[in-house]
Homo-oligomer: A and B are copies of this chain.
């Protein structure tokens, strides 16, 4: 269990501070994480990794020449926020664009996705590699649904080496995607871990058994089995991973060369891993596979969890070169890279959103109207904060009202600042979106932030508004929510109100003046929000059984319809 704690709420932050103080020659702290202490050649693609705290050395321990340029560090087992990711990415970018790399978890997908949209709006080209190596977390036909576990190491190491090699953004991204396609893992857990401040484990594995395929945060596995010998564990892992040998090898055009990672989760120690590796090495050789630069170590941990995983990445010539290339980081070192000068630019400014690009006259006027509209949003959610919290508490954690108020409040302040600086609509909304996401917290905060940013990208920094431009902005906002959040209509989320609203607005603009069309669409959104009362809430990808949320509408859909309603007067002056 985790015993060395001061304030549990500050554990992740203090661990990061201690990490930075231990590796002053390797990393520098920025808001949200770390970047390399050494200078990177201008124009080199930057790789920015990230995930929750508790998996060290993933991900901050992998920052350094030949591997990552930066790592965004979330709270315990929680994704970093888009704001953290943006901050790290801005500090890591050297003009060559950025590739994000992370394990495929809903929170990470959402926040990295939102950050990508934010950065693109700022003019930084961003690509994404979500690692999906865990064969136990989804069927072989749907590898995109799978989680990322210790396959993070070979996939993201290869990604970083491709950047180090000086390749362009497409090729770096392509190497990461190819490596992920050629990577398979299977894990076992013997016992759970205890989060800082907790006295009970996050989950337990019954004594004398092991959970096959159990995830690194305790996600359900494939089966529970009695304990077996080290050799039988090795066989189980090798057989499990090689069940998809053909598919994984095919991703690199066929290969018998494999990167091997035998990874301990924390409490399963080195000598045990080596006993297992002895058999793994024998089995791989017997299968005609050549192990290339195997790693037997703790590289993707899970606090003090007991367990291990085996990862194989099939290697073509390019991937083998990248896997064996030098890397010099606090926790993963291979070979040698020439010493580099220390980075000397002022990282204290990295957190800052980019300078305001002055908008033209029309767009500045629109920005001013948008700031006013955001004040209306803030007043509306503040007036309904309590009710929204009560609705949310039926199926969720009851923080929807407070989150909406905090997000809207921060968005108003950021928008006002941008307006004062002469920003156009796109920039006003980008600042507002970033502030909303950072201050609201939670999934809905991230989605609102992304929606505002996407809306602004559609409006640009030149020209005024029109009803059609606003409708296009609404569609872009809804699109980003669907894309980032992954929810479909009927999932009891704000998408259930947002999607019909966008559709109705488009159609109504053919018939009515803007304010009337908006009011028509608002009715549709309100009805749709109320209708979510008939849908049971989801838990992860599954419907909850015997769910008590039936009869209560979704809080996110309700708050959206309240906001849309309140915004109607702002459309009065709009041209078609």
Contact = CB atoms under 8 A, between A and B. Distances in A.
Contacts of A233: 4
Contacts of A278: 14-15, 17-18, 21
Interface in A274-309: 274-279, 281, 294-296, 298, 301, 303-304, 306, 308
Given A53-B271, A281-B22, A276 B17 contact: no
A279 B4 CA distance: 12
A151 to B, nearest CB: 18
A271 B229 contact: no
A272 B230 contact: no
Contacts of A3: 190, 210, 227, 268, 272, 306
Contact of A5 (B5, B14, B54, B229): B229
B268 A4 contact: yes
A269 B230 contact: no
A190 B194 CA distance: 14
Given A3-B190, A308-B4, A18 B277 contact: yes
A230 B230 CA distance: 35
A16 interface: yes
Interface residues of A, number: 55
Contacts of A19: 274, 277, 296
Contact of A57 (B1, B11, B231, B270): B270
B266 A18 contact: no
A270 B11 CA distance: 12
Contacts of A6: 229-231, 275
A54 B308 CA distance: 18
A4 B5 CA distance: 30
Contacts of A275: 4-6, 11, 14-15, 18
Contacts of A276: 4, 18
Given A3-B190, A230-B6, A18 B269 contact: no
A19 B190 CA distance: 22
A273 interface: yes
Contacts of A225: none
B272 A4 contact: yes
A343 interface: no
Interface in A428-452: none
Interface in A215-272: 227, 229-231, 233, 262, 266-272
Nearest to A53: B271
A275 B2 CA distance: 11
Contacts of A333: 333
B15 A296 contact: no
Contacts of A266: 267, 269
A336 interface: yes
Nearest to A21: B281
Contact of A11 (B4, B11, B271, B273): B271
A190 B2 CA distance: 10
Given A3-B227, A14-B278, A271 B21 contact: no
Interface centre among A2, A3, A15, A19 (most CB of B within 10 A): A3
A119 B262 CA distance: 39
A105 interface: no
Nearest to A285: B21
A85 B456 CA distance: 72
A270 B5 contact: no
Contacts of A231: 6
Contacts of A21: 277-278, 281
A37 B6 CA distance: 45
B16 A304 contact: no
Contacts of A271: 2, 11-12, 15, 53-54, 56, 303
Contacts of A18: 273-279, 281, 296
Contacts of A16: 274
Contacts of A274: 14-19, 22, 56
A168 to B, nearest CB: 29
Contacts of A17: 274, 278
A291 to B, nearest CB: 8
A198 to B, nearest CB: 14
Contacts of A308: 4
Given A16-B274, A22-B295, A269-B304, 5 more contacts: A3-B272, A18-B275, A22-B274, A57-B270, A266-B269
Interface of A: 1-6, 11-12, 14-19, 21-22, 53-54, 56-57, 61, 190, 210, 227, 229-231, 233, 262, 266-279, 281, 294-296, 298, 301, 303-304, 306, 308, 333, 336
10 contacts: A1-B306, A2-B272, A4-B230, A5-B229, A5-B272, A5-B275, A22-B281, A54-B271, A269-B301, A333-B333
